[in-house]
Amino acid sequence: MERTTLDLWVGLFVVAGLAAVLVLAMKVGNLSTFNMSESYNLQAEFDNIGGLKSRSPVKSAGVVVGRVTAITFDNKTFRARVSMVIDKRYQFPKDTFAKILTAGLLGEQYVGLDPGGDDQVLKGGDQVAKTQSAVVLENLISSFLYSKASEGDAKK
Amino acid sequence: MPSENLVEISDLNFTYDVRPVLQGINMQIPRGKVVAIMGLSGCGKTTLLRLIGGQLKPSQGAVKVAGQSVHELNREDLYNMRRRMGMLFQFGALFTDMSVFDNVAFQMREHTDLPESLIRDLVLLKLEAVGLRGAHDLMPNSLSGGMARRVALARAIALDPMLMMYDEPFAGLDTISLGVIGNLIRHLNNALGATSIVVTHDVQESMKIVDYIYFMSGGQIIAQGSPDELRALDSGFVHQFVHGEIDGPMPFHYPGTKYAEDLALETAHA
Amino acid sequence: MLDRAMAAISGTGHRVVNGVWRFGFACRFFLAVLLHSGISFRRFSLTIKEIYFSGVLSLIIILVSGLFVGLVLGLQGYETLQKYGSESALGTLVALSLVRELGPVMSALLFASRAGSAITAEIGLMKATEQISAMEMMAVDPIARVVAPRFWAGVISMPLLAAMFSAIGVFGGYLVGVVMIGVDEGQFWSQMQSAVDFRLDVMNGVIKSCVFGVAVTAIALFEGYDAPPTAEGVSHATTRTVVTSSLAVLALDFLLTAFMFRGI
């Protein structure tokens, strides 16, 4: 008699625990929206990746389509090589344009994919040819100051 | 039957760290008898039981139970041997998270595939033998000391052992429980056809029920004989022990440095 | 003077040798527990009973603490985030800190003091009252019958407790952030979902809590089994369980975090 009530409690406990994992997966995490089980790899080279990190999202038209898996430095071209996994459900044309963008002024950086118009699509292991580097705040400020300075020169 | 003696101990030495606990023990325990091992607290009686049960290994010498040398058995054989031994621990050592019934049923459930209905009959039989069938639903913490000892006894005889060992079965019991346990030890030994070893320092109670007595002191056997023989002895230590005299060959003081030295009387003069 | 120095040196040496000895024994004990685990699964009712004692009975403290930690995270997170005008990231902050760190670590610390100390006291008392010895004399291996089921019960309970802690903590953050303060509900959940990765965050948290479960239960069982069979010995062992396993949880947390979240 005692044993069955004990079993009941333990059963409830395990079910509640698994339900909590499920809540974490579906409600807190992004398992419901983004499934990485079916995916392919893409490469891209950038002059400067700014604050991009591995695990940063890859977005197209604002939708998360993949994630950055690795960032390495190419010793021949002296550029950063970014590897990404993209969800198999999303296909992009060969002449897709990869940019490093920032979410908001101080937000995290992500890779944005602008689809081009080519008929052929990118396949696993392909490299995205056209890239645009991250906007580095220091460069932005210095170029702004420089243009201000040259404006000032012109007014004189 | 290979020999008359169920337990044979020959030239047994046991050393704990560097302290010798047992020295040159020779003992024969014949089948069907109740044998007492007596001595003061801390003279190595319990250690001797543990050596027979294979929980400790002798430093020298051998303990043979039913012709097999206990410390040379591998784990599996040792466990098979222990299934035929029952041990009553000093305070019963009942499993506190189980009811009386489950305690007695413990070994049957662990070692046999008997159906639950048969286990129930057997458990009630064992509890009836110690007079506690009515208490099978209780938890150990609601039992008195004497009852707990009897439940532990029922648990120890659950698988009808050939050798029963009792570690201080009379310690801390009132006089009525004392008599009850004493009678049970004798009665169960005859009923089971077992052999019993009783380790105790309760002289009066055990003298009534045992067939043979070994006296131990300082890790050695200093006297042996039937209860009547020992009662007749008036030599030093045994006489003192049997009659419970305060001072005698066994000194009242633990050996130590001189009292005056401890009080720093002598060093002050130096 | 020289005498005292020698005594100090030999004392230290003794302590080191003793420590290494004890550690070796602990390793052998842990191995024995793993080797004798068969019975914990063949007779699962033994393990279920222990899950009840260490898991179900820890539930209240885990849920209440989780809720309060979530509430505090919500308040503090909002205070800080609103200075930068990014209150919408509150969900991310609450969820990530709970799922990655606070859930596994806090629940392991609570588990150590609630269930770990109880396990040590129970095993220590079983030893002190000769129940372990009695079991051995009845030809039943106490490691297989008493220790292993408690070990697996702890290993099973710990991740479940940690998951519940995190889940109710997120709910607490939601209560403060959305219901009380009025952060936009859609942003709260969507930012959280885009930032929390199932495999990298949730699963790593679960792995962490499994490791903590192994560490805390193994330490508690060993301390109980190794305790001197006296009332004083058992009470010391209980204290040591809580101290050692808390430190072990924090140290392991650092190591695991270094492995898991350093990107590559």
Task: Please indicate if any CB of chain A lies within 8 Å of the CB of C206.
Answer: yes
Which region among B1-5, B127-131, C167-171 has the lowest average model confidence (pLDDT)?
B1-5
Given this model, what pLDDT does residue A1 score? 41
At A2, the pLDDT band (50, 70, 90 cuts) reads low
Judge: B80–C139 Cβ closer than 8 Å, yes or no.
yes
Interface test mutation site (partner A, options C58, C61, C168, C202, max chain A beta carbons within 10 A): C202
Compute the average pLDDT of residues A103-114. Answer: 78
At B57, the pLDDT band (50, 70, 90 cuts) reads confident
Judge: B89–C133 Cβ closer than 8 Å, yes or no.
yes
According to the per-residue pLDDT averaged within each range, which of A130-144, C8-22, C84-98, C213-227 is highest? C213-227
Please check whether residues A44 and A29 belong to one and the same domain.
Answer: no
Please check whether residues A19 and A75 belong to one and the same domain.
Answer: no
Given this model, what pLDDT does residue C157 score? 94
At B1, the pLDDT band (50, 70, 90 cuts) reads very low
Instruction: Tell me how close the Cα of B235 comes to any Cα of chain C, in angstroms.
Output: 37
In this predicted structure, the answer to whether residue B146 has a pLDDT above a threshold of 90 is no
In this predicted structure, the answer to whether residue C113 has a pLDDT above a threshold of 90 is yes
Selection from B61, B78, B70, B53 nearest residue B22 by Cα: B61
Q: Which residue do the tokens 């024995």 mark?
A: C32
Q: Which residues of A touch C163 (CB under 8 A)?
A: 17-18, 20-21, 24
C-beta separation of A94 from A116 below 8 A: yes
* Distance of alpha carbon A64 from alpha carbon A61, whole angstroms: 9
Given this model, what pLDDT does residue B248 score? 64
Compute the average pLDDT of residues A21-47. Answer: 75
Task: Please indicate if any CB of chain C lies within 8 Å of the CB of B249.
Answer: no
Is A47 contained in some domain?
Answer: yes
Q: Which chains touch A (3 or more CB pairs under 8 A)?
A: C
In this predicted structure, the answer to whether residue C156 has a pLDDT above a threshold of 80 is yes
Given this model, what pLDDT does residue C232 score? 92
Task: Please indicate if any CB of chain A lies within 8 Å of the CB of C66.
Answer: no
List all residues of chain B from 120 to 159 with a beta carbon under 8 Å from chain C: 152
According to the per-residue pLDDT averaged within each range, which of A62-71, A145-154, B217-226, C63-72 is highest? C63-72
Instruction: Tell me how close the Cα of C153 comes to any Cα of chain A, in angstroms.
Output: 11
Is A153 contained in some domain?
Answer: no
Given this model, what pLDDT does residue B270 score? 44
Compute the average pLDDT of residues B39-45. Answer: 76
pLDDT per residue as tens digits for the range A125-156: 888 888 888 777 777 788 888 888 887 776 65
Using CB atoms, pick whichever of C131, C140, C145 lies closest to residue B93.
C131
Given this model, what pLDDT does residue A30 score? 67
Instruction: Tell me how close the Cα of C54 comes to any Cα of chain A, in angstroms.
Output: 10
Compute the average pLDDT of residues A45-53. Answer: 83
Judge: A7–C48 Cβ closer than 8 Å, yes or no.
yes
Is A148 contained in some domain?
Answer: no
Is A137 contained in some domain?
Answer: yes
Task: Please indicate if any CB of chain A lies within 8 Å of the CB of C106.
Answer: no
Given this model, what pLDDT does residue C77 score? 92
| Percent of chain C residues topping a pLDDT of 90 | 59
Q: Which chains touch C (3 or more CB pairs under 8 A)?
A: A, B
| H/E stretch holding B6 | strand B5-16
Q: Which residues of A touch C45 (CB under 8 A)?
A: 3, 7
In this predicted structure, the answer to whether residue B32 has a pLDDT above a threshold of 60 is yes
Please check whether residues A12 and A68 belong to one and the same domain.
Answer: no
Q: Which residues of C touch A69 (CB under 8 A)?
A: none
Q: What is the mean pLDDT of chain B?
A: 82
Task: Please indicate if any CB of chain A lies within 8 Å of the CB of C73.
Answer: no
Given this model, what pLDDT does residue B191 score? 85
Judge: B96–C140 Cβ closer than 8 Å, yes or no.
no
pLDDT per residue as tens digits for the range C4-19: 888 999 999 999 998 8
* C131, closest residue in chain B (CA to CA): B93
Q: Pick the residue with more confidence: B204 or C238? A: C238
pLDDT per residue as tens digits for the range B160-194: 888 888 888 887 778 888 888 888 888 888 888 88
As beta bridge partners, residue B39 has B216
In this predicted structure, the answer to whether residue B234 has a pLDDT above a threshold of 80 is no
Please check whether residues A60 and A89 belong to one and the same domain.
Answer: yes
Given this model, what pLDDT does residue C150 score? 94
CATH of B5-232, picked from 3.40.50.300, 3.90.1150.10, 3.40.190.10, 2.40.50.100, is 3.40.50.300
Using CB atoms, pick whichever of A17, A30, A53 lies closest to residue C196.
A30
pLDDT per residue as tens digits for the range C19-42: 898 889 999 999 999 998 888 888
Instruction: Tell me how close the Cα of B19 comes to any Cα of chain C, in angstroms.
Output: 19
Q: Pick the residue with more confidence: B250 or C1? A: C1
Please check whether residues A66 and A11 belong to one and the same domain.
Answer: no
At C166, the pLDDT band (50, 70, 90 cuts) reads very high
Residues A111-141 as b or e (16 or more Cβ within 10 Å = b): bbbebeeeeeebeeebebeebebbeeeeeee
Compute the average pLDDT of residues C154-158. Answer: 94
| Percent of chain A residues topping a pLDDT of 90 | 1
Interface test mutation site (partner B, options C18, C57, C129, max chain B beta carbons within 10 A): C129
Judge: C167–A23 Cβ closer than 8 Å, yes or no.
yes
Please check whether residues A68 and A17 belong to one and the same domain.
Answer: no
Structure tokens at C224: 């109980």
Given this model, what pLDDT does residue C208 score? 94
Interface test mutation site (partner C, options B17, B78, B97, max chain C beta carbons within 10 A): B97
Which region among B164-178, B245-259, C81-95, C201-215 has the lowest average model confidence (pLDDT)?
B245-259
In this predicted structure, the answer to whether residue B3 has a pLDDT above a threshold of 70 is no
Task: Please indicate if any CB of chain C lies within 8 Å of the CB of B89.
Answer: yes
Judge: C198–A30 Cβ closer than 8 Å, yes or no.
yes
At B70, the pLDDT band (50, 70, 90 cuts) reads confident
Given this model, what pLDDT does residue A31 score? 59
Q: How many CB atoms lie within 10 A of CB A14?
A: 17
In this predicted structure, the answer to whether residue B267 has a pLDDT above a threshold of 70 is no
| Percent of chain B residues topping a pLDDT of 90 | 0
Using CB atoms, pick whichever of B80, B85, B111 lies closest to residue C137.
B85
What is the span of the domain harbouring residue A121? 39-142
Is A85 contained in some domain?
Answer: yes
**Which residues have a Cβ under 8 Å from the Cβ of B138 and sit 6 or more positions away?**
B99, B100
Overall number of domains in chain A:
2
DSSP letters spanning B36-47:
EEEE-TTSSHHH
Q: Which residues of C touch A68 (CB under 8 A)?
A: none
Is A156 contained in some domain?
Answer: no
List all residues of chain B from 204 to 223 with a beta carbon under 8 Å from chain C: none
Judge: A31–C95 Cβ closer than 8 Å, yes or no.
no
Using CB atoms, pick whichever of C125, C131, C139 lies closest to residue B79.
C139
Compute the average pLDDT of residues B226-240. Answer: 73
Interface test mutation site (partner C, options A28, A30, A36, A87, max chain C beta carbons within 10 A): A28
Residues B100-132 as b or e (16 or more Cβ within 10 Å = b): bbbbbbbbbbbbeeeeeeebeebbeebbebbeb
Given this model, what pLDDT does residue C264 score? 39
Please check whether residues A10 and A58 belong to one and the same domain.
Answer: no
Instruction: Tell me how close the Cα of C137 comes to any Cα of chain A, in angstroms.
Output: 27
What ipTM score was computed for the predicted complex, to two decimals? 0.79
Given this model, what pLDDT does residue B161 score? 87
Which region among A16-20, A63-67, A80-84, B124-128 has the lowest average model confidence (pLDDT)?
A63-67
Q: What is the 3-state secondary structure (H, E, C) of chain C?
A: CHHHHHHHHHHHHHHHHHHHHHHHHHHHHHHHHHHCCHHHHHCHHHHHHHHHHHCHHHHHHHHHHHHHHHHHHHHHHHHHHHHCCCHHHHHHHHHHHHHHHHHHHHHHHHHHHHHHHHHHHHHHHHHHCCHHHHHHHCCCCHHHHHHHHHHHHHHHHHHHHHHHHHHHHHHHHHHHHHHHHCCCHHHHHHHHHHHCCHHHHHHHHHHHHHHHHHHHHHHHHHHHHHCCCCHHHHHHHHHHHHHHHHHHHHHHHHHHHHHHCCCC
In this predicted structure, the answer to whether residue A10 has a pLDDT above a threshold of 80 is yes
Please check whether residues A11 and A76 belong to one and the same domain.
Answer: no
Instruction: Tell me how close the Cα of C133 comes to any Cα of chain B, in angstroms.
Output: 8
Q: What is the mean pLDDT of chain A?
A: 81
Which region among B149-158, B254-263, C64-73, C153-162 has the lowest average model confidence (pLDDT)?
B254-263
Residue boundaries of the structural domains of chain B: 5-232
Please check whether residues A95 and A109 belong to one and the same domain.
Answer: yes
How would you classify the pairing of strands A109-114 and A57-60?
parallel
Instruction: Tell me how close the Cα of A81 comes to any Cα of chain C, in angstroms.
Output: 14
Judge: A28–C159 Cβ closer than 8 Å, yes or no.
no
Instruction: Tell me how close the Cα of C5 comes to any Cα of chain A, in angstroms.
Output: 55
Q: How many CB atoms lie within 10 A of CB C13?
A: 10
Judge: B110–C130 Cβ closer than 8 Å, yes or no.
no
Judge: B96–C130 Cβ closer than 8 Å, yes or no.
no
Please check whether residues A11 and A80 belong to one and the same domain.
Answer: no
Please check whether residues A25 and A91 belong to one and the same domain.
Answer: no
Using CB atoms, pick whichever of C49, C163, C192 lies closest to residue A20.
C163
Please check whether residues A65 and A83 belong to one and the same domain.
Answer: yes
Which region among A3-7, B54-58, B246-250 has the lowest average model confidence (pLDDT)?
B246-250
